[in-house]
Structure 1
Amino acid sequence: MAENQDQVFDVAVIGGGPAGLSAGIALARALRSVVVIDAGEQRNLGAESVHGFLSREGMSPRDLIAAGREELTRYGGTTASGFVRSASREEDQFILAMDDGSTVTVRRLLIATGIVDELPDLPGVADRWGRDVLYCPYCHGWEIRNQKIGVLAADPHSVLQALTFRQWSADVTILLNDALELSAGQAEQLAARSVQVVEGKVRELDVTDDRLTGAILDSGVTVALDVLVVSPAAVSKANMLERLGLEPAALQEGPGTRLETDESGRTSCPGVWAAGNATDVSAQVITAAAAGLRAAEAINADLVLADTRRAVEAARVPAGK
């Protein structure tokens, strides 16, 4: 980041996805000096389009990010490319160490780095992630409606996944993959909704002409599929905060980690907020953007109080002192 090393920003937003850019724009419109630092590794860049975002339905994720960056700079915000290696505190400021050796000094931090999806160790899954290997029904359900949908079991939550995807297709199969033993109640639920159950471990995916056609079991049997639903571990990317004593916590609802915050996005570390998938791993694009806006409002309010305290202290000093 080749910015003025002497400049002190009011806020640095680490992560330039929907949450980070939404916050950055709100802070810039509040006349705060803000820099959004982004490494260009948003979670949804592999997807073809954005869904569930009012007025932006079907828009390319890259186009959405580009539009957000243009809006940020239009209001006077700064964008910077690169990784933040670490963050440390010096009195009432934070020093960010960048991967190019430069540093950025800021008064407040917003972490919007998102998460990394750690996919099942199954040949073919990573190559097809975001296309016909999916996770979120509300992101992709309409596009895969009435297709042959397989759910790769990982834990008891996979039963709810199968029942949920049944809303979009009458042809849903849960592949137990030697990872799940159904209870009598679960088996009854699946049968009542006509969800097929396949036992045995999945060996690899069957792909023809760059299109998923099935899942191949260890037995050699191929289960015909158009789509495979998996349960990735959602792992935080906020390791740069370790020197501040802020570490991601384990998820309660599945494998993975996240930053814990209050409703405004405030973390347990004074001066640090988090928004988007960094704290809510299930947040979609529009809800991540809303969380960024909410955090920006809280950060600006915090800075207003800090600025007021400074003004009061300055006013109490007799003239000439």
Structure 2
Amino acid sequence: MTTQTQYDVIVIGGGAAGLSGALALVRSRRSVLVIDDGTPRNAPADGVHNFLTRDGVPPAELYAIGRQEVQGYGGEFADATVTSARPDGDGGFTVEADGTAYNSRRLLVTTGLTDVLPDVPGLAERWGKDVVHCPYCHGWEVKDQAIGVLATSPMAMHQVQLFRQLSDDVTLFLHTAPEPTEEQWEQLAARGIAVVQGKVEQVEVSHDKLTGVRLEGGKVVALQALAVQTTVRARAGFLAELGLETTVVEANGVEVGTAIQVDAMGATGVPGVFAAGNVSSPMAQVMPSAAAGLMTAAGINFDLINEETRLAISATSSAQ
């Protein structure tokens, strides 16, 4: 294993949060290495939406622009997969990635998350195309279509109303979700949302397009798009040696996934380790993730300044 020069900050993850944080840090004259494995969460999507001035830009293009900007200020990149991170014994950290060890004074974790899809055959193959999850990310692209919502928890009642805003033809498939309450049945009826009971057993596809879903018993309901609820898992297993664990995230009392817990400036429970973006805020879209990267970078820079000031005072005192 080879060891590289120490950096002020290693950013693990090269998506919106990581690149935004790296940009702020290099502009503050910090030495920065971004390690990225090239597998962003939104890779299957055709475009990034609700990102002012960049609406509709393909994810790969957005990240390529970000890389160029970071490199323009002296930031460095390593295309690799991080396998572990641990204390280096001198107050900093050693990060291992594809057989190389890198050292840094601080860590910024922006590895995002993984979407765990419901176990329905054919669903994963259409993910990011006509199987979607976020009405704000993909809603305009499926507007006025026949949209189905696959319910796996009570959160589907919220999701189906959001998609009803985009189309008059919306069907809720109860699948594995509990029976709606009397109040929810009233809301569904008032909004003209069709409800289908029973499990969905197959996604139907023809000519590379979703055409519907097959229910248990064989009945097929025609659709053009299907919204699903995913369980989100923070990509943070490599942090185990630091003693940093993920916590369960809930919404309206329903477990939706895991995340790294941070404070307002992105600091985790491990001194010197910070996190931003979906790995710590699962519901954040690209724009707020980028904003979080910037704010967390500011926190890291000031943390380093405080350390450098203490060392300068100590050195001055020793010289007297």
Quickly name the TM-score band, shorter chain normalised.
over 0.9
For residues 11-69 of structure 1, give each alpha carbon's deviation from its aligned partner in whole angstroms, at most 9, with x where no partner exists.
Answer: 00000000000000110000000001000110001100110001001111000010001
Q: Letter of the 1:103 partner, please give it.
A: A
Q: Letter of the 1:308 partner, please give it.
A: T
CA distance in 2, matches of 1:269, 1:209: 51
Gaps of 5+ in 2: none
For the residue of structure 2 that corresponds to 1:70, the secondary structure is helix
For the residue of structure 2 that corresponds to 1:154, the secondary structure is coil
- 255-264 vs 36-45, which moves further: 255-264
Answering whether residue 43 of structure 2 is matched by residue 42 of structure 1, we say no
Counterpart of 1:138 in structure 2 is 136
Where do 4+ consecutive residues of structure 1 move more than 3 Å? none
Question: CA separation of 1:178/1:88 partners in 2, compared to 1, >3 Å: closer, same or farther?
Answer: closer
CA distance in 2, matches of 1:156, 1:179: 6
Q: Is the CA contact 1:248–1:257 (under 8 Å) kept in the aligned structure 2?
A: yes
What is the correspondence of 1:86-97 to structure 2 with a 5 Å cutoff? Answer: 86-89=84-87, 90-97=89-96
CA distance in 1, matches of 2:39, 2:17: 14
Sequence identity percentage: 47
For the residue of structure 1 that corresponds to 2:141, the secondary structure is coil
For residues 120-172 of structure 1, give each alpha carbon's deviation from its aligned partner in whole angstroms, at most 9, with x where no partner exists.
Answer: 11111110000000000000111111111100000111011101111111111
Q: Is the CA contact 2:4–2:100 (under 8 Å) kept in the aligned structure 1?
A: no
Counterpart of 2:288 in structure 1 is 287
Q: Letter of the 1:271 partner, please give it.
A: G
CA distance in 2, matches of 1:304, 1:282: 31
Of 211, 215, 218 in structure 1, the residue corresponding to residue 216 of structure 2 is 218
Counterpart of 1:276 in structure 2 is 277
What is the correspondence of 1:217-236 to structure 2 with a 5 Å cutoff? Answer: 217-236=215-234
CA distance in 2, matches of 1:264, 1:172: 40
Task: State the Cα distance separating 1:6 from its structure 2 match.
Answer: 5.0
Q: Is the CA contact 2:12–2:36 (under 8 Å) kept in the aligned structure 1?
A: yes
What is the correspondence of 1:56-71 to structure 2 with a 5 Å cutoff? Answer: 56-71=54-69
What is the correspondence of 1:118-267 to structure 2 with a 5 Å cutoff? Answer: 118-253=116-251, 254-267=255-268
Q: Letter of the 1:261 partner, please give it.
A: V
CA distance in 2, matches of 1:91, 1:242: 19
Counting strand residues as a fraction of each chain, which structure ranks higher? Answer: 2
Q: Is the CA contact 2:154–2:177 (under 8 Å) kept in the aligned structure 1?
A: no
CA distance in 2, matches of 1:64, 1:201: 39
Q: Letter of the 1:283 partner, please give it.
A: A
Counterpart of 1:78 in structure 2 is 76
- 249-258 vs 202-211, which moves further: 249-258
Q: Is the CA contact 1:200–1:219 (under 8 Å) kept in the aligned structure 2?
A: no
Counterpart of 1:14 in structure 2 is 12
What is the TM-score of this pair, normalised by structure 1? 0.96
CA distance in 2, matches of 1:28, 1:141: 36
- 204-213 vs 175-184, which moves further: 175-184
Answering whether residue 307 of structure 2 is matched by residue 306 of structure 1, we say yes
Q: Letter of the 2:303 partner, please give it.
A: D
Counterpart of 1:28 in structure 2 is 26
- 218-227 vs 28-37, which moves further: 218-227
What is the TM-score of this pair, normalised by structure 2? 0.97
Task: State the Cα distance separating 1:83 from its structure 2 match.
Answer: 1.2
Q: Is the CA contact 1:202–1:217 (under 8 Å) kept in the aligned structure 2?
A: yes
- 71-80 vs 175-184, which moves further: 175-184
CA distance in 2, matches of 1:318, 1:51: 56
CA distance in 2, matches of 1:143, 1:180: 29
- 34-43 vs 310-319, which moves further: 310-319
Gaps of 5+ in 1: none
Q: Is the CA contact 1:117–1:232 (under 8 Å) kept in the aligned structure 2?
A: yes
Give the root-mean-square deviation of aligned CA atoms: 1.2
Task: State the Cα distance separating 1:118 from its structure 2 match.
Answer: 0.7
Task: State the Cα distance separating 1:179 from its structure 2 match.
Answer: 2.8
Q: Letter of the 1:73 partner, please give it.
A: Q
Q: Letter of the 2:276 partner, please give it.
A: A
